[in-house]
Structure 1
Amino acid sequence: MFTAVVIDDEPLAREELIDLLHESNQVEVVEQASNAIQGLKVIQSVKPDVVFLDIEMPQVSGIEMLAMLDPETMPKIVFVTAYDQYAIQAFEDNAFDYLLKPINPERLLKTLCKLKKHQPKPVEAIAPAQLEQIPCTGNHRIMIIATQNVECAYTGITGVLVRTADSELTTQLSLKVLEDKTPLIRCHRQYLINVKRIKEISLLENGLAEIMTQSGFTVPISRRYLRSVKEHLGII
């Protein structure tokens, strides 16, 4: 699973790419940005494996932004552009790959396969089939949170955050690992929820909804996952 940042000044194009990446089940988009300056700060903060970077942006273009990154430490850069002529320059400027808008899902999968081939093989560790506890960090300590006490988990600018009724801590585990190995279920691209900690669900317009947890924290539900959440609660 790759971690990624998407940088594009067009909100619809940005959301479309994020949806495609999520559907691939190979990428976790940990943050997004609408311009190069914000993008530089995000990259420095979350240190993603790959950045999907729009070329045509106001003030600072994607190509200009690439020149601002340290070649020794920068993530792999995949340029996203509507113009063919930028492809050659993309590779001259040390980009890993490029995608043409509108993005073809099959072409995107080729990029992901290429990324996988270049990904260093991690040292494999024996992991339990299910996690009953989640290790979290904060205040120079490692704290162990029982999964039954977790209300939700979500991606923020500092990484994956685990929220209980009285605390919010950072974990090194990805949302995908938490989804696969804990009772938490997906309710949004960036959120997991513990159904046993749901106090109420507010149905909004356009098929959207919001969860209020027992501690009063608000969690969004996207249209894609509303039915699944209802099924887990026994709501038809």
Structure 2
Amino acid sequence: AATGLRSVHAIRPAPALGGSGVESARKALTGNTFDTHVGLDRNRVVKASSRPPVDFSSDVGRKQFGFSHEEIDDSAAYYEGQFKLFQRSGQGVLHCPELGSKYQGEFESDRAHGEGQQVWPDGSQYAGEWRRGQKHGAGRYVSADGLEYVGQWERGRRHGEGHQTYANGDTYNGGWHFGVCAGPGTYNFSEGARYEGFWVCGRYEGPGVLYSPDGARERRWYSGGTLNKREVLPD
């Protein structure tokens, strides 16, 4: 039974889930900082600095109230939707066709706020709740390389309970703390093994149990992601 467990573990070393290195790699792959501000994001997909004059005679330009069309950055991007006190507020679409960036949903004070969907130039996308331009609440994110997260967000980061599916087929279901795995959770390896335990700062911590595909079980003790002790459990 112990041999079977070692072979499963050899397939993939225990990952430091959600750590800063993983986040950096995913950021490089997706071009998404996980806390992008629509209209004011770090990638500067759309800038709101160039504003055409307000036109009260037609539905073009910023308005005090109601629907209008606003062109941004010499027509490279545009906003169509509701305005309140000359700011984007209510339902609207902020679109940059040249780059392939688009947000459609609710706005407040020129920022995504409420329910909305964002698509980034690399193809990654998010659909769910926003607060002051950041992912906040319940939502679903899919990266350009196939990583998917469904769960809670706070201030642009995964926070609370969530389920993440990695591009290789592995999954993690459990707690998150501002972007990294934290608290009790379950990690399912695509080969069929399963680890149930506790995470701190994105790493295995304390006792947990590894279940192999053939039904064998092994109790493990970790400290900061490092395996300190293992014990084969009886059938």
Query: What band does the TM-score fall into relative to the shorter chain?
Result: under 0.3
When you count helix as a share of all residues, which structure comes out higher?
1
* Larger Rg belongs to: 2
Of structures 1 and 2, the one with the larger relative CO (CA 8 A, separation 6+) is 2
What is the TM-score when the length of structure 1 is the normalising length?
Answer: 0.25
